[in-house]
Chains A and B, each alone.
Chain A
């Protein structure tokens, strides 16, 4: 009987250790994180609409139904990524996420020049290279320096009512997410 209690006590101690180990391993081994879900539906640098359901299940969970969203995955080893689009919508916001879905950087239309969606994601090393001779097309862009290689960009646009749906859809479908 005493040995049974001994075994149970060791088991509970082990449960505590297993709790911590599993908790810390979930982010690196999850196959259901946002990156994996996006990789299932589209390749890198392809803009995916998150508000459309693909195969009956939403690509990303817990999204606001008053918003339309678009996302694209990028890999900075291949060059700097520019996300831009001309057009006016009531409100947009953009976020850069790293490979594990952590929000690295976010901003909205009030932060941007003239309220236009135009930003460049790049590593600090690429930033130094680009500063030497800034191309004229980047003059009004926001530069997002990140220490990451792979990541996700998400643009969210508010849809106040049904009449805005075509405008917002056109805005999101016109977004470029290309390597420069």
Chain B
């Protein structure tokens, strides 16, 4: 009788241990799976990204040929991505030296740009909401109002303080993204992206 009850308690303890291990395995599987998907979708890089200097574009995003990560990103964020006949967006979250862009710092964007009918430049926060300039000036710049260098390249100042020449006014504090969008451009087709030139982003100074 005594032997039977001790066997029973050993069995019960084993089952308890077993079920704890099963719960642990399940928690790791579900938690790890969900967390890894969230992490990948939140990062700016990923499968299908094309990087030129500090700028990153997803030429296939929002098309039926897109990879599963791009599809999930579109569905989760409610994005209506630009079509190939419309244009292509490049996003930068770091400057050319690899340091995170901040809206309290001032930057200079200089260099030549790929061919397009026109382009626009604006700053957003990390949630992709366009930054306000905090003044009456629009927090956006486009190619029809920009002054060019003699060699047709551009030089744009980005910051909270007014600058001579081209100035993109930004406001607020914290991490920011710069978005450079080309409209009606041959680079939106997949072959057009090879060997294009994008401008550098150089940090000028930071106001603490």
Q: Which residues of A contact B (CB under 8 A)?
A: 3-4, 6-8, 10-19, 21-24, 26-27, 30, 32-34, 36-37, 58, 60-67, 71, 91, 93, 95, 97, 100-108, 110-111, 152, 154, 156, 158, 160-162
Contacting residues, chain A, for B100 (C-beta < 8 A): none
Question: Measured between C-beta atoms, what is the minimum distance from A95 to chain B in Å?
Answer: 4
* Chain A binding surface SS class: mixed
Q: How far is the CA of A63 from the CA of B37 in the complex (A)?
A: 24
Contacting residues, chain B, for A63 (C-beta < 8 A): 130
Of B64-72, B149-157, B194-202, the one with at least 4 CB within 8 A of chain A: B64-72
| B135 on the A face (CB < 8 A) | no
Q: Is the CB of A91 within 8 A of B184?
A: yes
Q: Is the CB of B78 within 8 A of A23?
A: no
Contacting residues, chain B, for A91 (C-beta < 8 A): 117-118, 183-184
Q: Which of A3, A16, A34, A37 has the most CB of B within 10 A?
A: A34
Q: Which residue of B lies closest to A160 (CB)?
A: B144
Q: How far is the CA of A37 from the CA of B77 in the complex (A)?
A: 10
**B interface size (C-beta, 8 A):** 57
Q: Among the listed A6, A33, A106, A160, which residue makes an inter-chain contact with B74, where contact means beta carbons less than 8 Å apart? A: A33
| B8 on the A face (CB < 8 A) | no
Q: Is the CB of A14 within 8 A of B29?
A: yes
Contacting residues, chain B, for A24 (C-beta < 8 A): 68
Lowest 10 A-B CB distances belong to which pairs? Answer: A106-B83, A18-B33, A14-B29, A11-B28, A15-B32, A7-B21, A30-B75, A26-B72, A27-B75, A11-B25
| B159 on the A face (CB < 8 A) | no
Q: How far is the CA of A27 from the CA of B34 in the complex (A)?
A: 14
Q: Which residue of A lies closest to B17 (CB)?
A: A3
Residue-wise, chain B 111-136 has the 8 Å CB interface mask toward A (1 for contact) of 00000011010101001111000000
Question: Measured between C-beta atoms, what is the minimum distance from B167 to chain A in Å?
Answer: 15
Q: Among the listed A18, A22, A102, which residue makes an inter-chain contact with B71, where contact means beta carbons less than 8 Å apart? A: A102
In the complex, given contacts A32-B77, A62-B128, A71-B80, what are 20 additional A-B residue pairs having Cβ atoms less than 8 angstroms apart?
A6-B21, A11-B24, A15-B31, A15-B32, A15-B36, A18-B34, A19-B33, A26-B75, A61-B77, A64-B179, A65-B139, A66-B138, A93-B87, A97-B80, A101-B78, A106-B85, A106-B86, A108-B85, A108-B183, A160-B145
Number of A-B contacts (CB under 8 A): 183
Contacting residues, chain B, for A32 (C-beta < 8 A): 75-78
| B205 on the A face (CB < 8 A) | no
Given A7-B25, A11-B32; A158-B78 close (CB under 8 Å):
no
Q: Is the CB of A27 within 8 A of B71?
A: yes
Q: Which residue of A lies closest to B61 (CB)?
A: A103
Q: Among the listed A16, A65, A154, which residue makes an inter-chain contact with B80, where contact means beta carbons less than 8 Å apart? A: A154
Question: Measured between C-beta atoms, what is the minimum distance from B144 to chain A in Å?
Answer: 6
Q: Which residue of A lies closest to B29 (CB)?
A: A14
Q: How far is the CA of A12 from the CA of B78 in the complex (A)?
A: 30
Q: Is the CB of A12 within 8 A of B28?
A: yes
| B63 on the A face (CB < 8 A) | yes
Q: How far is the CA of A110 from the CA of B82 in the complex (A)?
A: 16
19 A-B pairs, CB-CB below 8 angstroms?
A: A7-B21, A11-B24, A12-B32, A15-B36, A17-B33, A18-B33, A26-B76, A27-B75, A33-B76, A34-B79, A60-B78, A60-B79, A91-B184, A93-B184, A95-B82, A102-B71, A102-B74, A108-B86, A110-B184
